[in-house]
A = this chain, B = another copy of it.
Amino acid sequence: MYKGFAEPREEPVMSEQVPETRPKPAVAMKPTAGLNPNLLGYIGIDTIIEQMRKKTMRTGFDFNIMVVGQSGLGKSTLVNTLFKSQVSRKSSGWSREEKIPKTVEIKAISHVIEEGGVKMKLTVIDTPGFGDQINNENCWEPIEKFINEQYEKFLKEEVNIARKKRIPDTRVHCCLYFISPTGHSLRPLDLEFMKHLSKVVNIIPVIAKADTMTLEEKTEFKQRVRKELEMNGIEFYPQKEFDEDQEDKSENDKIRDSMPFAVVGSDKEFQVNGKRVLGRRTPWGIIEVENLAHCEFALLRDFVIRTHLQDLKEVTHNIHYETYRAKRLNDNGGLPPVSEDSHESNI
């Protein structure tokens, strides 16, 4: 603050007079004789960005990502590849011998990852057992229940008289749904899950283990999946109805048209043309996961982390949480839930 003062950079633009928000009407604006309406020099309104950056550097942020799909589709490897770290539950030594659970379980693990001075508290929520039973009826239910429980927790904190300054955010911001690379069509369980869950959470479908498909097969399969989702009225993230303006829409249209991304994950490094890359070695060559000619991992990574992470959090808060909250208050006769877990069974 005492570093001296910025030189005038540009004239501020005083663009419009907005309706005032006060009970007593303010004096109407008239052009002022003899005075320059814009005095010279720089004000500093745009320093708000730098002020917000400083606050974020200080506090960090939360991001909670859920992975859903049958075992063996590379869910753990993919999140490890996304965050370039062993962040998944399966990264511990003995997990490979772990038995498939008899019902759907929900397991979360958190890490703090720091990059460029920004701290992210990442929670990866795994759903082992999903789709792995003989009868998979209603196996989306424990997942929906878990998601709603996080909204309920947040709501209870929000209506508390003495609130925390920052309500701990355990809400699921993003659900990666892993589609098996069959080359045929979506399975009934895929449709069933996404139909139920797309209303409560941001679902991003991905085609797993895409190295099993040729380029032609991939293109065709992606098209078929998009068509089936549309026919079944399933809206995945980024949902068309939440596009905020034309720019948003045209950016998101491009993304929607190339979804679901066909991805390959890897936590092994190889040397390719003297560069270290993440990949999978096969007798016929190395699949480089971040090479767009090989698979669409980089598109997914850019989308989830580099362009839409903040939006995933905002849609979760502004749309999914608000929908839950409104329903909850309505069911409760307009009253907030009582704080002492007495409603847990209603969820």
Which residues does A use to contact B, with CB under 8 Å?
A: 1-2, 5-6, 9-10, 12-24, 26-33, 35-49, 51-53, 55-56, 58, 61, 80-87, 89, 91-95, 105-121, 123, 125, 149, 159, 161-163, 165, 168, 170, 244-245, 251, 254-255, 267, 269, 276, 278, 290, 298-299, 301-303, 305-311, 314, 318, 322, 325-326, 329-330, 334-336
Contact = CB atoms under 8 A, between A and B. Distances in A.
Contacts of A254: 1-2
A301 B44 contact: yes
Given A12-B114, A115-B13, A109 B26 contact: yes
A278 B74 CA distance: 65
Q: In the assembly, how many copies of this chain are there? A: 2
A341 B120 CA distance: 42
A288 to B, nearest CB: 12
Contact of A114 (B21, B45, B61, B245): B45
A43 B115 contact: yes
Contacts of A163: 322, 325-326
A36 B269 contact: yes
A92 B48 contact: no
Contacts of A45: 113-116, 118, 120, 305
For the complex of A and B, list the 7 residue pairs with the smallest distance between their C-beta atoms, beginning with the closest. Answer: A46-B116, A22-B108, A51-B310, A45-B115, A26-B109, A44-B306, A39-B84
A305 B47 CA distance: 8
Given A39-B278, A58-B244, A89-B27, A111 B5 contact: no
Contact of A18 (B51, B105, B112, B305): B112
A105 B39 contact: no
Contacts of A108: 20-22, 26
17 contacts: A1-B255, A1-B302, A12-B83, A14-B113, A15-B112, A18-B112, A20-B109, A20-B110, A26-B89, A35-B86, A37-B85, A37-B86, A40-B278, A43-B82, A48-B118, A55-B310, A165-B322
